[in-house]
């Protein structure tokens, strides 16, 4: 058997798939993201913001990006809107640099974010109000799926490609729990 310079047998290396040099490039199923954001009434959006900002940070090698603080900044009135716009702009710029096709428009995404949040705030009074909250949450789901589509295309267009799509078990659990929560809100 032929051995490699570092003493590892070639047959052992060939038996296992190679590990991606870019482990953060993992496309996500947009329909799962849509469901998670909608069924958790928008709360999962903050998880996605954290994860995607961390991916962008790793791709760019930018140590000035702080995913936790960036995500927390989304909760600050007015300033959070600027951070949300910066997030969408970073995704679009990364996609363009990679040569990936995207129709993600940061200004349109920001406007939709504002509209869905206003609708969610208007809801909550009676059955119609609950439906409005759920509709706003699923609207946000569409918005985040739009941004994830741009990220997926980016990861696939970059040299070295992306890891295979994988949905963590916790996401499946959250989908189930979120579905029960949404159903309870609508039947109330």
Q: Specify if 3 maps to a domain.
A: no
Domain that residue 45 falls in = 27-157+170-187
Render pLDDT for 120-140 as a digit per residue (tens, 0 to 9).
888 776 666 778 888 899 999
Q: Specify if 163 maps to a domain.
A: no
Q: Specify if 63 maps to a domain.
A: yes
d(CA 68, CA 73): 9
Number of domains observed in the structure of the chain: 1
Cβ partners under 8 Å of residue 161, min gap 6: 20, 25, 155
Cβ partners under 8 Å of residue 7, min gap 6: none
Render pLDDT for 139-184 as a digit per residue (tens, 0 to 9).
999 999 999 999 999 988 888 877 777 777 888 888 888 788 777 7
Q: Specify if 87 maps to a domain.
A: yes
Q: Specify if 97 maps to a domain.
A: yes
Q: Specify if 116 maps to a domain.
A: yes
Mapped onto helix, strand or coil, the DSSP state of residue 9 is: strand
Cβ partners under 8 Å of residue 42, min gap 6: 116, 120, 136, 137, 140
Q: Specify if 15 maps to a domain.
A: no
Q: Specify if 2 maps to a domain.
A: no
């Amino acid at each position: 058997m032929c051995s490699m310079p570092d003493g590892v047998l070639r047959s052992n290396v060939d038996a296992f798939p190679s590990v991606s040099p870019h482990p953060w490039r993992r496309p996500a199923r947009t329909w799962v993201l849509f469901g998670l954001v909608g069924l958790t009434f928008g709360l999962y959006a903050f998880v996605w913001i954290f994860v995607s900002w961390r991916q962008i940070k790793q791709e760019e090698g930018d140590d000035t990006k702080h995913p936790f603080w960036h995500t927390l900044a989304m909760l600050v009135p007015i300033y959070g809107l600027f951070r949300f716009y910066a997030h969408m702009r970073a995704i679009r710029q990364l996609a363009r640099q990679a040569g990936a096709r995207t129709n993600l428009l940061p200004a349109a995404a920001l406007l939709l974010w504002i509209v869905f949040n206003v609708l969610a705030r208007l809801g909550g009074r009676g059955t119609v109000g609950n439906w409005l909250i759920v509709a706003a949450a699923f609207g946000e789901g569409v918005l985040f799926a739009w941004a994830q589509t741009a990220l997926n295309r980016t990861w696939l267009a970059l040299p070295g490609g992306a890891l295979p799509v994988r949905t963590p078990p916790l996401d499946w659990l959250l989908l189930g729990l979120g579905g029960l929560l949404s159903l309870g809100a609508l039947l109330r």
